Structure 1
Amino acid sequence: MHVNVNMTRCRRAKKMVKDKLAGNFVEEFVVLWDYANELRLKNPGSTIKMAVNRVTYESPPHFKRFYVCFEALKRGWKEGCILILGLDGCLLKGPFKSEMFFC
């Protein structure tokens, strides 16, 4: 193809892709507030908590954790008195690494 690309162009292209990818993650984390509100609306009695970190009061929030316990699971737990707690989890990949656990 007779294309000559120097290192400066490669670095710029890599930076553009990383910035675009980080922007997509930010947009997806913003939608978590809508997910939490929808879960509260559709599953009354459920516990939904989302924790965020802020460096300063004016800085934008950074996602820390998201907790959901559905009312049906709480009721089933109390009625069945299950002695074993089941946990499942996954690791979030990408520029904002974290862990997500399910009960």
Structure 2
Amino acid sequence: MNKINLKFFEHKCSRAFKLGSIVTYKWIRKQFVNDVLESPKLILRKMKAIVSKRYNIIMSVGQCRNAKKLELSEVEGSLKEHNAKLWDYAAEIRRTNPGVVDGWLGGCRKVIGVDGCFLKGVYRGELLSAVGRDANNNIYPLAWAVVNVENKRTWKWFLDNLMEDHIGGGSGHGITILSNGHKGLFEVVKERLPDVEHRLCARHILANLHKKFKGEQYFKPFWRANNCTKV
């Protein structure tokens, strides 16, 4: 009886299949929705490598480019639709939250936290916000605004509107403002609200301290000093 050559039956198929003509960029887009949203600057060659590793499929850079472009265009389109409803959103906030300022004046601590953050994506700029703390130590939103850049001029405009329209004007007597120490904001508070108590956020102070003095050994002494009621 002749021996069977088993090598003849060895399975030699590759695990990576080139199915570019079958699998379209629309299919890739569906698989990469979360990836693109989390990393809009995802490199195309890296995206191609992920497809190959994750699905054992070889796609072209062009297909990955089209998939990413489609997803970003849909995201940007939805953002434009949402931003077009901004005035309706403001009207609904006023309708469903009557007496927001009266609530802050009547039931919250006279402490206002102000800060700014960058806006990324289709609509760039910076978001300025002011929040308070209610009797349960929860955040109490007061005001927010979108500006082109965070500087002395925009902070003056924001604080002027906040004090005149919401807090009843004045020089800030009896109010404490908490900020991250932005230079423009610091100058505006001194000029616009001479009687306010201006204090800096401890977390930002610690972050700046950590840039010069590395090591976690500084954390506990810092917070002990921060919580101390006596000097």
Quote the Cα distance in structure 2 between the aligned partners of 1:37 and 1:71: 16
Equivalent of residue 12 in structure 1, options 61, 66, 78: 66
Shift of 1:15: 1.0
User: Given the two structures, how large is their TM-score scaled by the length of structure 1?
Assistant: 0.51
Shift of 1:12: 1.1
Which amino acid in 2 is paired with 1:5? M
Quote the Cα distance in structure 1 between the aligned partners of 2:64 and 2:73: 14
Quote the Cα distance in structure 1 between the aligned partners of 2:93 and 2:101: 11
Partner deviation per Cα, 1:10-41 (whole Å, 9 max, x = no partner):
22112101101101211221232221111232
Which amino acid in 1 is paired with 2:128? F
- Report if aligned partners of 1:92, 1:98 keep a CA contact under 8 Å in 2: yes
Flag structure 2 segments of 5+ consecutive residues without an equivalent.
1-15, 18-56, 131-231
Partner of 2:85: 31
The alignment partner of 2:72 has SS state of helix
Q: Which has the higher strand share?
A: 1
Partner of 2:76: 22
User: Which is further off, 36-45 or 90-99?
Assistant: 36-45
- Identity over aligned pairs, percent: 35
- Name the CA shift for 1:40/1:85 in 2 (closer, same or farther; >3 Å): closer
The alignment partner of 2:85 has SS state of helix
Quote the Cα distance in structure 1 between the aligned partners of 2:66 and 2:125: 28
Runs of 4+ in 1 over 3 A off after TM superposition: 42-45
Which amino acid in 1 is paired with 2:78? N
- Report if aligned partners of 1:92, 1:99 keep a CA contact under 8 Å in 2: yes
Number of equivalent positions: 74
Cα RMSD, aligned residues only: 2.9
Q: Which has the higher helix share?
A: 2
1:98 aligns with 2:125: yes
Quote the Cα distance in structure 2 between the aligned partners of 1:29 and 1:43: 21
Quote the Cα distance in structure 1 between the aligned partners of 2:79 and 2:94: 23
Partner of 2:116: 89
User: Given the two structures, how large is their TM-score scaled by the length of structure 2?
Assistant: 0.27
The alignment partner of 1:87 has SS state of strand
1:71 aligns with 2:101: yes
- Report if aligned partners of 1:43, 1:71 keep a CA contact under 8 Å in 2: no
The alignment partner of 1:4 has SS state of coil
Quote the Cα distance in structure 2 between the aligned partners of 1:10 and 1:43: 46
Shift of 1:100: 1.2
Which amino acid in 2 is paired with 1:95? V
The alignment partner of 1:72 has SS state of helix
